[in-house]
Amino acid sequence: MTFVMCLVLFCLVLGLVAVASNPSPFFAALGLVVVAGMGCGVLIGHGGPFLSLVLFLIYLGGMLVVFAYSAALAAEPYPESWGSWPVMIYGASYMVGVILASATFWGGWYESSWVLADELVEFSMFRGDVGGVALMYSSGGWMLIISAWVLLLTLFVVLELTRGMGRGTLRAV
């Protein structure tokens, strides 16, 4: 399990470097999906499968649609890819920064902090995330409805801001 978690965390850092080093939104979208998937993998490793599923579906369902629409409006004829020299230099400098930061904080703390939610099973009656599911649907139902309305309002605000020159949302770029 330690090897799988190290692999997931390494892919999470690689995805973050891919998003941070890429100036083009087209190629950064793949990095965002990798980061969301690996972050949900970390949550699954810590005993929260329902939380990670909800996070991944909400991210892909809500945020990525708005991001894809904004990226389509900000289209470039020749976008910078991961193989171009400026992006490779940025990516290498970010990886050197990550390696220096990890060498600074290297110690032995990383394995002792990986405590799963199911390891304290004798002190609880539920699994790690089942209690949160019941609470979310019982007393948090109104918050879910408010969150859905806020996401819908955000979508309309983004559509209105990126409309441009009164030609509607669909236009030739």
Residue count (the chain): 173
Whole-angstrom distance, CA of residue 78 vs CA of residue 24: 9
The type of residue at 110 is Y
Per-residue pLDDT tens digits for 39-74: 889 888 877 777 788 888 887 776 667 676 666 666
Using CA atoms, how far residue 162 sits from 23, 36, 67, 144, 145, in Å, is 19, 25, 12, 27, 26
Q: How far apart are CA 92 and CA 95, in angstroms?
A: 5
The CB-side HSE value for 21 (13 A sphere, CA atoms) comes to 24
Considering the chain, what percentage of its residues have pLDDT values greater than 70? 67
- Is this structure's pTM higher than 0.75? no
3-44 pLDDT, tens digit each? 888 899 899 998 888 888 877 777 777 778 888 889 889 888
Tokens of 164: 């441009």
User: Could you state, in order of their start, the residue ranges of all structural domains in the chain?
Assistant: 2-106+126-131
Q: What token pair was written down for 170? A: 């669909």
What number of other Cβ atoms are within 10 A of residue 38's Cβ?
A: 20
Nearest-5° angle of CA 79, CA 157, CA 141? Answer: 115
Measured CA to CA, the distance from residue 46 to residue 55 in angstroms comes to 15
Residue 75: what pLDDT?
A: 65
